[in-house]
Amino acid sequence: MLERTLRKDHTEVTFILPADTPPGPVSVVGDFNEWQPGAHTLMPRKDGRRAVTVMLPAKTTHSFRYLAAGDYWFNDESAGDREGPNSRLHT
């Protein structure tokens, strides 16, 4: 799930997943972090889910995927847009 918070000159995008699906560590990997695994690892929240917030320029489009333990890549179906194998988000 994605949550967007619009700011004056950027958008804060929060990537949210359930606490244990998939199990183990998960990071969001995309063009905004040079596709670097582990750069944005989802962390536990008080509500039991995992999340990470990334600040992105306003009015831009980005490709991303999640990477879980065991080299398991998957998309965010709530993104609503795809580019090849990747999810896309619009800020």
Nearest to 65 by CA among 45, 84, 47: 84
The DSSP code for 78 is G
Nearest to 86 by CA among 40, 28, 43, 45: 28
Q: What CATH code is carried by the domain that includes residue 83?
A: 2.60.40.10
Q: Is residue 3 helix, strand or coil?
A: strand
Mean pLDDT by 10 residues, the chain (91 residues): 92 95 95 96 95 95 96 91 91 88
Amino acid at 14: T
Number of domains in the chain: 1
- pTM beyond 0.85, yes or no: yes
Domain, as residue range, for 35: 2-90
Q: What is the pLDDT of residue 56?
A: 96
Q: What is the pLDDT of residue 37?
A: 95
